[in-house]
Amino acid sequence: MNVYNYNFAALDGGPMPLERFRNQPILFVNTASECGFTPHYAKLQQIYQDYHQSGLVVIGMPCNDFGQQEPGSEEEIAEFLQNEYRITFPMTAKYSCIGIEAHTMFKELAQEYGGDVLPRWNFHKYLFNRKGGLIEHWPAQTPPDDPAVIHQITRHLQSWSL
């Protein structure tokens, strides 16, 4: 599976083919606005600001799969993200990441890497390299600025230069 092969709709309604980020590493996160981990948005925004110039793209995907903690419309989600966290990184429309309604990317991740790769809660993080391959993934309990996450990002920055 290659992350650049997947298409999403953007939170604002336009298309968001991941192909447009080809040759850039991606930190992809399923998100929710009413979760105990919602403050991770601030840390994701900081990572985006710190590493975007080196090529890293952070992408958030609102998801209502866990505890119905993303019940709002896409317009409400966008307003929340702007008002509460000033998010500037790309956000997809709302999708599922588990079950029959799961986005194809998650189905294919599970098919290739096994079910343990799937999120068990909001704010599961996936790091893909500039060739579109999965490097690592971390559960919700691992904050985006955890040393293990930052280590993997910085470890690969040299190979990610544009």
What is the set of active-site residues? 35
Q: What is the Cα Rg of the chain in Å?
A: 14
Of the candidates 11, 46, 12, which has an alpha carbon nearest to the alpha carbon of residue 27? 46
Coil, strand or helix at 77: helix
Q: List the beta strands (DSSP E) in the chain.
A: 7-9, 15-17, 26-31, 57-62, 125-128, 134-138
